[in-house]
């Protein structure tokens, strides 16, 4: 699948879900230099000293109570000249980051949510807060973003009625930049993305 779209000489995938890694191993069509790891990108010491051309963080950072921490840890794995791709739930209103205020039941299917069902954070960040968080990562050169409006998941419990689902690519410069050097922004959001 990846080989048909990208030229890859090596691939490292990490996921906290063993089933996701097992599915990846069964899929085949991966480059010869492939490592699929069950673990946490924040805590895995084997990744700490490596720099990757692309770090993909989809449906992860906004399920994590420490969204800023996981973004910083993912960014630390991006090599000079590389890119981090991240998906985030956004809003023009106030950020909602507390598990008590905004969560999603880990429940699939049409049956009612069972009592005692596990909950995960359903983080929804203020759009400007998210852009600031990403554009101020060290050596950020360019930020490209796309987003569209949608409703929260049916199993989510959040005060946010309308979510701007965003995918953002943060490009790292090849060398350190002066602090006053501007970050390029290429934003494709609905015109009302900043209107509460």
**What's the predicted TM-score (pTM) here?**
0.86
CA atoms within 13 A on the CB side of 60: 22
How much is the pLDDT for 8? 67
Q: Among 187, 147, 143, 190, which residue's Cα sits nearest to residue 167?
A: 147
Of residues 10 and 79, the one with the higher pLDDT is 79
Mean pLDDT of 137-152: 96
How much is the pLDDT for 27? 79
Cβ pair 103, 120 in contact under 8 A: yes
Domain limits, the chain? 54-188
pLDDT reading at 1 higher than 50: no
């Amino acid at each position: 699948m990846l080989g048909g779209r990208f030229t890859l000489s090596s691939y490292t995938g990490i996921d906290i879900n063993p089933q996701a890694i097992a599915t990846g191993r069964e899929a085949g069509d991966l480059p010869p230099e492939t490592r699929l790891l069950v673990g946490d990108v924040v805590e895995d010491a084997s990744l700490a000293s490596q720099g990757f051309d692309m770090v993909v963080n989809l449906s992860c950072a906004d399920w994590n109570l420490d969204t800023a921490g996981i973004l910083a840890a993912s960014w630390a794995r991006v090599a000079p000249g590389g890119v981090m791709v991240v998906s985030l739930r956004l809003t023009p209103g106030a950020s909602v980051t507390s598990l008590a205020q905004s969560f999603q039941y880990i429940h699939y299917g049409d049956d009612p949510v069972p009592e005692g069902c596990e909950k995960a954070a359903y983080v929804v960040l203020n759009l400007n807060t998210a852009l600031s968080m990403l554009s101020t990562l060290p050596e950020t050169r360019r930020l490209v973003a796309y987003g569209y409006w949608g409703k929260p998941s049916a199993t989510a419990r959040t005060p946010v009625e309308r979510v701007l689902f965003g995918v953002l690519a943060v490009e790292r410069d090849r060398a350190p930049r002066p602090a006053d050097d501007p970050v390029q922004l290429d934003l494709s959001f609905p015109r009302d993305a900043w209107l509460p």
